[in-house]
């Protein structure tokens, strides 16, 4: 599972971080189990690995139509987490949406996503 928090996040508390990783890992395994109970093509589990998230931090969000300055402060935003310190921001959703589209297109044997 991939779960990152901003340094000032209320969830970025030393013992809580380890507990959350366990919960997120369990939740992810449950999603995989549910997907396996249905015929292929009806329900799909689409995974996300830490290397892919790292690449998002290193990539240019403008390729997905997301401005580099999300909050309008005149500086490029390199984070993927919103100001609340927990939830994804527009940059993260843009990368995640593109990733899901690409993976689902491959899963369903389509060369180009519509």
d(CA 2, CA 24): 8
Per-residue pLDDT, 34: 93
d(CA 88, CA 80): 6
d(CA 56, CA 94): 10
Residue-by-residue pLDDT tens, the chain, 114 positions: 345 555 555 555 556 656 666 777 888 899 999 999 998 878 889 988 888 888 888 887 777 667 777 667 666 667 787 777 778 888 888 888 888 998 988 988 865 444
Which tokens is 30 given?
């449950």
d(CA 8, CA 93): 21
> Helix H segments across the chain?
14-36, 50-58, 90-107
**Whole-prediction pTM value?**
0.67
Task: Name which of 53, 52, 46 is nearest 4 in CA terms.
Answer: 53
């Amino acid at each position: 599972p991939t779960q990152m928090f901003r340094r000032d996040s209320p969830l970025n508390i030393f013992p809580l971080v380890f507990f959350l990783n366990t919960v997120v890992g369990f939740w992810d395994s449950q999603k995989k189990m549910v997907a396996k109970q249905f015929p292929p093509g009806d329900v799909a589990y689409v995974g996300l690995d830490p290397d892919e998230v790292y690449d998002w931090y290193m990539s240019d969000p403008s390729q997905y139509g997301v401005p580099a300055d999300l909050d309008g402060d005149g500086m490029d935003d390199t984070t993927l987490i919103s100001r609340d310190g927990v939830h994804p921001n527009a940059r993260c959703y843009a990368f995640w949406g593109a990733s899901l589209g690409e993976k689902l297109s491959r899963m369903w044997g389509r060369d180009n996503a519509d």
